[in-house]
A = this chain, B = another copy of it.
Amino acid sequence: MSAAEETAGGGGPVTALVHAGGAHVLPLLGRVEDLLREVASGHGPVLTEHAGATIAAGGKRLRPLLVILAAGGHPSGDGEGLVRAAAAVELVHSATLVHDDVLDLAPLRRGRPTVFASAGREAATQTGDLLFARAFALLARNGSAEQVRALSDAGSALAGGELLQRADAWDATIPLERYLRRCELKTARLFEAACILGALEGGDGDGPTHPAEALREFGRRIGLAFQILDDVLDVAGPAERTGKHRGTDLLDGTVTLPFILARERDPRLGAIDPRAIDTPPKAEAICDRIAATGALDAARAIALEHVAAAKAVIPAGLAERERAALTLVADGVVARYS
């Protein structure tokens, strides 16, 4: 499953954060939304329509939230730089989703038709390229080469991670390390970049308030947990929660952590040819067999270790409110699956 096949709806980290008194981040998130809408327009009617629809389709804006929180509630200047950084991260994420949908021939994302489905692969490919280019134009306005490099490195990693996933497709024997490497590239790196960008935009202009390396590790761990739990959810269902049938990853040939752990426990699973899993009922049956091994709990436990590690690296020097907010985000990544 792609990093960002995030189910829409309530209960995400933003909601938890607001309930816990972190409402001060909402105005910044609102400005990010405004900027995203502005960025989508002005590139001809076709691209404006599709880029706009992509952005309007939303998602939980988890990455922009991380950017804002990593700035520690003290954005430098008027916060414009922080808002731009948050929007740029979301644009790179959105660009990747649009291209993924083309490659997956995906009809729906977050319950709406994909750009691919509504406008075809050509419009979708170009829409992705446009969103990608706009991300860097936006971030460049911050005047920080370090920021552009951080985002660009994450963009390169995303491409490499997606490709690795496709190269590994239909291989039931891929080693655990390979799966984790994929998660690092296709998910964790952009979470890391979100935290780095926030750290760089925090403080009073004399350098970041927060230790960027600790925040990078926070982002990395959250990203890994996020991806692993996404992959667990694809097996665990139920469909009414995810909006999809169980086992869509298996139908795409994508072997993820639950299967990898389950094949150790049930060798007959390891002998399966993924290409034989070619109907939703067959995929659901394999999901049941994976669940029967206890692999889902084992995978969840690994994700929870990453969440715990993320919380452990939250810099002690942060204000209590900021520490609480980052903790909530870490817990929120788990909460949406429980």
Contacts and interface: CB of A to CB of B under 8 A. Distances in A.
Interface of A: 43-44, 46-47, 95-96, 99, 102-103, 121-123, 125-130, 132-134, 136-137, 139-149, 151-153, 155-156, 158-160, 162-164, 166-167
A167 B133 contact: no
Copy total for this chain: 2
Nearest to A122: B166
A137 B17 CA distance: 33
Contact of A130 (B126, B148, B160, B167): B160
A43 B125 contact: no
Contact of A140 (B43, B141, B148, B159): B148
Q: What's the dominant secondary structure at chain A's contact region? A: helix
A132 B129 contact: yes
Given A122-B163, A140-B147, A141-B145, 20 more contacts: A44-B160, A46-B167, A47-B160, A103-B121, A103-B122, A122-B162, A123-B163, A126-B166, A127-B163, A129-B132, A129-B155, A130-B160, A133-B153, A133-B155, A133-B158, A134-B152, A137-B148, A137-B149, A137-B156, A140-B146
Contacts of A149: 137, 140-141
A127 B43 CA distance: 24
A155 B156 CA distance: 16
Nearest to A103: B122
Given A132-B129, A141-B145, A156-B137, A163 B103 contact: no
A46 B163 contact: yes
A159 B145 contact: no
Contacts of A130: 156, 159-160
Q: Which of A133, A139, A166 has its CB near the most chain B CB atoms (within 10 A)?
A: A133
B125 A152 contact: no
A124 B1 CA distance: 20
A166 B123 contact: yes
Contacts of A133: 132, 152-153, 155-156, 158-159
Contacts of A121: 103
Contacts of A164: 44, 46
A4 to B, nearest CB: 15
Contacts of A136: 136, 148, 151-152, 155
Contacts of A99: 125, 129
28 contacts: A43-B160, A44-B163, A46-B164, A46-B167, A47-B159, A47-B163, A95-B129, A96-B129, A99-B129, A103-B125, A122-B163, A123-B166, A125-B125, A126-B159, A126-B160, A126-B162, A129-B159, A130-B159, A132-B155, A133-B152, A133-B156, A133-B158, A134-B156, A136-B155, A137-B149, A140-B146, A140-B149, A141-B145
Given A103-B121, A125-B102, A145-B142, A137 B152 contact: yes
A152 B123 contact: no
